[in-house]
Amino acid sequence: MNILYRINRKLYKLLHPELGCILMLHRVVAQRSEGENRELEITPGFLEQTIKDYKQKGFRFVSIDEVSEILEKGKMDKPFVCLTFDDGYRDNYTNALAILKKEQAPFTVYVTTGFIDNKQSMWWYPNERLGLSCDELLNLAAEPLCTIGAHTVTHPKLENLSIQEQRVEIKQSKQDLERLLGHSVNHFSYPHGSYNEDTIAIIEESGFHTALMAWGGVVRRGDNPMLLHRTILKQE
């Protein structure tokens, strides 16, 4: 079985060449914390160096809309890299934006709407108020390099919810962001990387163009846009 799986996987890779990668990020902070949350945090210096390294290796930085187009075409001249930030931390605005602008790197922030203005706290950071304010979110969204994506209302593990509950989490977050921003929101990322068949059906019926997982590696020709792999950007 194991050998068969490996042969299948090799064949898939041969027939579906690598197009690029979508990097998953969370926080950008001057001082990284010591506990479990450390792996969600990178420093501004590390972010800047990562962008420079990818450029030097010949990668092209693209928006998530461009990833969608590249997948449709199935090819491109250079490998792409796409930056994505999950949850909606205010440090994306205060610490990352200046670097992203300086490097002219497009990026997407996937916002959990309950975290806006810290209506709901991020329970993995108890006693801290880390969410974007409504004004900060609007300022960020006004940046031409920035795309805002949806990331549910309360950040649940979607696979544990009923289909009705999932529908509310997904559709409500899309609608609330669209009302706030005044334009359509076309991209989604699964909180905790959690989904099931119902989730994908709701994502499709809601009209999203892409939805991102929380692991899996590179993006290949022919990949399902509703189940795109990501590469976690880790700082040692």
The residues that touch Zn ion, with contacts defined as CB under 5 A, are: 86-87, 191
Question: CA 49 to CA 28: how far, in whole Å?
Answer: 13
Q: Which residues have C-beta within 8 Å of that of residue 98, sequence separation ≥ 6? A: none
Nearer to Zn ion, 191 or 225 (CB): 191
Nearest alpha-carbon partner for 105 in 40, 53, 180, 43: 53
CB of 23 to Zn ion, least distance (A): 15
Looking at the DSSP bridge assignments, the partners of residue 131 are 89
| Cβ(104)–Cβ(145) below 8 Å | yes
Helix/strand/coil (H/E/C) assignment for every residue in 8-64: HHHHHHHHCCEEEEEEEECEECCCCCCCHHHHHEECHHHHHHHHHHHHHCCCEECCH
CB of 193 to Zn ion, least distance (A): 9
Nearer to Zn ion, 173 or 206 (CB): 173
Q: 130 to each of 82, 83, 105, 123, 133, how far by Cα in Å?
A: 24, 20, 23, 11, 9
Nearer to Zn ion, 146 or 213 (CB): 213
CB of 78 to Zn ion, least distance (A): 29
CB of 87 to Zn ion, least distance (A): 4
Nearer to Zn ion, 41 or 87 (CB): 87
- The DSSP annotation for 145-188 comes to TEEEEE--SS---GGGS-HHHHHHHHHHHHHHHHHHHSS---EE
Please report, to the nearest 10 degrees, the dihedral formed by the alpha carbons of residues 11, 64, 72, 153 taken in order: 90
CB of 72 to Zn ion, least distance (A): 27
Nearer to Zn ion, 131 or 191 (CB): 191
SS3 95: helix
Nearer to Zn ion, 49 or 194 (CB): 194
CB of 75 to Zn ion, least distance (A): 31
Nearer to Zn ion, 86 or 169 (CB): 86
Residue number of the CB closest to Zn ion reads: 86
CB of 37 to Zn ion, least distance (A): 12
